[in-house]
Chain A
Amino acid sequence: NAGVTQTPKFQVLKTGQSMTLQCAQDMNHEYMSWYRQDPGMGLRLIHYSVGAGITDQGEVPNGYNVSRSTTEDFPLRLLSAAPSQTSVYFCASSYSKTSNTDTQYFGPGTRLTVL
């Protein structure tokens, strides 16, 4: 198994540009989520999904969209990038539909800089 994969590893955007961060898992996990990690802030949840076709907002959802058309993929879209979205983005997944019973598996992260 490849586990949780994320692309790209690094990205530089200009303010106002849009892009999609890709996340895929090959473990048939139901639960997938996106976190951002900022210095001094810890990891914060952006969006999550408990299965194909089901998504919901986390703690910091503004400026981000998600969709879950398949079990394997959970892309994160930035509609109009802002400097405040400069961060490291992590995708995570777990077998069960909730985060409170299973080990969470994290991807390697995408480091995004918005100029």
Chain B
Amino acid sequence: KQEVTQIPAALSVPEGENLVLNCSFTDSAIYNLQWFRQDPGKGLTSLLLIQSSQREQTSGRLNASLDKSSGRSTLYIAASQPGDSATYLCAVSNQAGTALIFGKGTTLSVSS
């Protein structure tokens, strides 16, 4: 059974720092991996989707990498801002493509 783990569970950094969020999964036979952002009391917003054949994706200050063989993904946030404060969730698709398996998230707090 696929399990997704995110470390750390919470992270506090001062504004301007570069930071890395980690995601690991137990079954390397994935089709894609998605990173989401969730603000308190809100729904999830997709940030980046990495197909299994890709190594990384970039969007603005965000860069996500994928290493299927080691079962790991990282989300790199450059020059963090207070507006980046949110919970970041990692999810992989199950083999049938019928569901996403989510990690429990990393709650990021960026102080000004």
Contacts and interface: CB of A to CB of B under 8 A. Distances in A.
Given A42-B102, A43-B102, A45-B100, A100 B45 contact: no
B42 A101 contact: no
B43 A108 contact: yes
A90 interface: yes
A73 to B, nearest CB: 18
A27 B49 CA distance: 19
Question: Which size class do B's interface residues fall under?
Answer: 20 to 34
Contacts of A105: 46
Interface residues of A, number: 27
Contacts, number: 68
A40 B104 contact: yes
Interface in B7-25: none
Given A101-B31, A105-B46, A106-B44, A42 B103 contact: yes
B98 A42 contact: no
Contacts of B63: none
B43 A107 contact: yes
A58 B102 CA distance: 13
Contacts of B96: 98
A98 B49 CA distance: 14
A60 to B, nearest CB: 11
Contact of A33 (B42, B45, B89, B99): B99
B83 interface: no
A12 to B, nearest CB: 16
